Structures are given as C-alpha cells and as structure tokens.
Amino acid sequence: MKINNGYFFFIIFISIYLVSFYLKIDVIKGAVPDLQTHWKYIQKLTNVGLLNILDIKLGNKTLNGLDSKLLNFPLHHIIVSQIPIINKNLNAYLNIFFFISIIIPYLFYRCCVERFKDIDKKKLFFFSSILYILPNFQAASIWGNNHNTAIIFFLIALFYLIKIEQAEKKNNFYIILTYLFLFLASYTKQYYVIFFPIFFFKILIKFKFEFKIIYLSTITCLILSIPGGIFLYNNLGLMQNLSIGATNFSSSVVVVSTIISFYLIPFLLIEIINKNFDFKKTLKNKRFIISFITILIFTIYSSFNFIYDTQIGGGFFIKLNNLLFDNYFNYIILSILLSAIVMYFSRNHLMDNFTTLTLLISFSSGWFIFQKYFEPMYLIMFVLLYDKKMLKGFFKNKLDYLYLYFLIYWVLYFIFKENDKFVSFFKI
C-alpha cells in the first residue's frame, strides 16, 4: 500500500458521508428513535416558551428502552427552539444541522494545527476527515442528534485549552472561555462534566498551581454551574433514571476499557509498523505496570460477577462476543489484552494516567454504555489531550492503515446493522 493517500481516503469518507445523508441511512439503527425524542421535546419547548422550561419534567423511560422524555441537559434543544426557521420544520432542522456538522472535522483540524504546529497541515487535514466515516458521528449528523452539538462546544473548549498550554503568558480570558465552552458541552450532554477535573489540573499544572488560577477556575466553574444546578434540582430524573442495574461498577470499567481500546488498536498497529513499539521497554515502565495490574485486578474481580444485562450498547467487542458466543468468558479474556493497549498509551505521563482513569470510572451508574458516547469524543480527546511527543510520531507516515481501519469499521458496522437485508439478498 502506498503512503500518503490522504486525498483518496478523504474523497471516500466525504462521499460516504454525503451519500448516507442523501439516502437518509440510519447506520446505527438508533438515531431515528432518538430524533423522535429530541424533536418532541423541542416542540414542547417551542410551545411553552423558554421561560417555562422547568414546567417540562424530564427523565421517564418506557419499558422498551426508547426515550419517552429527554434524559439530557437541554441546551441543544433550547438553541433549536429559539430559531424560527427550523423550530417547527423537521426537514429544515435536519438539513441545516447536517451542514453545520460538516464543519466539525474542520474544527478538529484547527485544534490539531494549534497543537502540532510542526506537522504538515495536509496530513492533519486528512487525519481530521476520519470523523466523517465514524458511524455514530455520521448518524448524529444526519439525524440531528445533540452529540454533535456537544462535540462543537467540546472542540472549542479544547482549542482554548491548547492555546493556554502553549502560551508563554497567562491569559485569564482563555481560561474563562475554556470552562465556558466545556460547560456548554456538559449542558448539551452531561457526561462531558467528567472533563472538568482533567481541564482543571491541566491548567493548574501549566501555571504551577498558582493561587490566582485556582481562585479564577473555582469561581468561574461555580458561577457557570448555577443554571445546571437549578435545572437538575427540578429534574432529578436526569440522575435517578440512569441507575437501572444494566451493569455494575467493576463491569462498567471493563466495558469502557474495551470500547476505547477499539479506537487505539490502529495507533498500536502504526507503532508496530513504524518500529516504535518496544515490548521490553514497556515492561520496564513502572507507570504502565502499576496501571495494568490495577485494571487487571478489576477485570479478574469483575469476571466472577460480570454484569451487562441488556441487548443494547456495550460497544464493538461485546457485540462481536455475543455474535460468536453465548457467554462473556471470552470477552473477559480479550478485555485483559485490550486494557493493556489502553494503559500502554497512558504510560508516559501521570496526567495521561489520570485522564484514562477518570474516563474508565465515569460511566458506572448502571446505565447502558453506548459506543456512541465515545465517538468521536474519545478519538478527539486522545489526539488533543494525551502525550504530545508520542502523538507526533503517528503523523510521520503509515496513516493509510489508520484510514483503512476506520473505513473497514464503517463497512462492518453497516453490514451488522443491515444483517437481515444482506441475508435476504444472498438467498436470492
């Protein structure tokens, strides 16, 4: 395979993205039911008015697992409900939201350019276009899902965080903007709140735990949290209805570890192909050994009482396991190997360890764990938050293998979700 086929893969990615929109493909087979929930809430909010938003109570679920009422903070819905052109016209909403979503890979590209100033911009541009081929990003773009709205706010927050980390002088305005847009992301999808301790410590480390920065960060976050606190107080179902016993704490750590490892596998392959992977050196890395032993203990403990009691969610590897086996034994064994990959890419810095640990323990409410929560969020955070020196090595060459990996992922995802249609086709 020739290297630097970025143009070729970009054309494929954007073509699949546009054709999927034209054909209105729901590649994940869950985006359309989600749209019904979101659109119904937008209509209610449009009718009662923004000042009466607390009159709409959230959090109920029907027995078949489809939302009967929203289970997210509603910033996305507030924005849409206040735009006359689209708040009553579903087609207009979907069309405009899709074309807004097209710019998200460009925002990712701008963040990459800001962080990796000495990397060829063309490589960064083609790399950023990977988002177009990710099934969950694609589905959110086509079906107006608030995942993409949260990603826009998250990317802007990351952009200013990167500027803070690379600036020689302190800029309080950038600090405030970083927290502001991270709050906006959290008020769109509440699980983005897990990034506050990560951002907080990155900013404090940058300025050597200066008291003024601690004070500014604390006051800013307290003020920005007031609207969310009021809304949550009036909609306790946002928390209460996320505890349904589909999984438990230790099992959820295993599930999250295998989900995020899926996005790291192609990076490991590039490490091996580029001959940057040193097994002996890795085994001598104390941070890697301690982290891996910790997650190994969690996995072994979970194996005695592994719970993922639902047919929805769980990520790629649970779906693959359920397709091939009728128990989770093989999945548990595989998860040990996959967790090693996760810890390998967190080995260089304590902050990377902290970031990974925060992510692993943050989806342990007992609720279903969907791969869409991490896509494209995890790929973005990995590139923009983890060890910069390590990541720069991936952009030297062999990116074609990364592009091919995610293209195959989309094809397999599509075939899996359209399984009945493919079976019928081959019976002809």
Residue 23 tokens read as 């054909």
Residues 49 and 112 in one domain: yes
What pLDDT is stored for residue 421 in this prediction? 55
Tell me how far apart the alpha carbons of residues 271 and 265 are, in angstroms, rounded to a whole number. Answer: 10
Mean pLDDT by 10 residues, the chain (428 residues): 73 96 88 90 90 81 51 93 92 96 97 94 94 96 96 98 92 96 96 95 94 95 95 82 76 92 93 81 85 86 83 87 86 91 91 93 84 94 94 83 94 79 45
In a domain, 379, yes or no: yes
Residue 351's alpha-carbon distances to 36, 144, 206, in angstroms, are: 40, 34, 12
Residues 203 and 58 in one domain: yes
In a domain, 46, yes or no: yes
What pLDDT is stored for residue 61 in this prediction? 54
Tell me how far apart the alpha carbons of residues 202 and 60 are, in angstroms, rounded to a whole number. Answer: 37
Residue 368 tokens read as 């279903």
Residues 38 and 131 in one domain: yes
The set of residues, in sequence order, having a beta carbon less than 8 Å from that of 404 and lying 6+ positions away, is 1, 9
What pLDDT is stored for residue 64 in this prediction? 45
Check if the beta carbon of residue 318 is closer than 8 Å to that of residue 331: yes
Residue 162's alpha-carbon distances to 108, 165, 218, 383, in angstroms, are: 12, 5, 20, 12
Residues 305 and 235 in one domain: no
Residues 112 and 190 in one domain: yes
Residue among 345, 346, 348, 324 nearest 334 (CA): 324
153: number of Cβ within 10 Å: 22
Residues 214 and 278 in one domain: no
In one letter, which amino acid is 296? L
Q: What is the DSSP letter of 67?
A: B
Residue among 364, 410, 345 nearest 131 (CA): 410
Residue among 138, 135, 60 nearest 97 (CA): 138
Check if the beta carbon of residue 11 is closer than 8 Å to that of residue 404: no
Residue 265 tokens read as 């596998």
Residue 182 tokens read as 């991270």
3-class secondary structure, 275: coil
Question: Does residue 105 have a cis bond before it (omega within 30 degrees)?
Answer: no
Residue among 100, 91, 106, 85 nearest 35 (CA): 91
Tell me how far apart the alpha carbons of residues 224 and 187 are, in angstroms, rounded to a whole number. Answer: 10
In a domain, 282, yes or no: yes
Residues 220 and 290 in one domain: no
In a domain, 20, yes or no: no
Check if the beta carbon of residue 203 is closer than 8 Å to that of residue 158: no
Range of the structural domain that residue 260 is part of: 249-397
* DSSP-derived secondary structure for 290-314: HHHHHHHHHHHHHHTT--B--SS-S
In a domain, 15, yes or no: no
pTM: 0.93
Residues 170 and 270 in one domain: no
Tell me how far apart the alpha carbons of residues 401 and 287 are, in angstroms, rounded to a whole number. Answer: 29
Tell me how far apart the alpha carbons of residues 364 and 339 are, in angstroms, rounded to a whole number. Answer: 17
Q: What is the DSSP letter of 351?
A: H
Residues 74 and 154 in one domain: yes
Check if the beta carbon of residue 339 is closer than 8 Å to that of residue 295: yes
In a domain, 170, yes or no: yes
Residues 350 and 291 in one domain: yes
Residues 177 and 226 in one domain: yes
How many domains does one find in the chain? 2
Residues 125 and 213 in one domain: yes
In a domain, 17, yes or no: no
In a domain, 1, yes or no: no
What pLDDT is stored for residue 373 in this prediction? 92
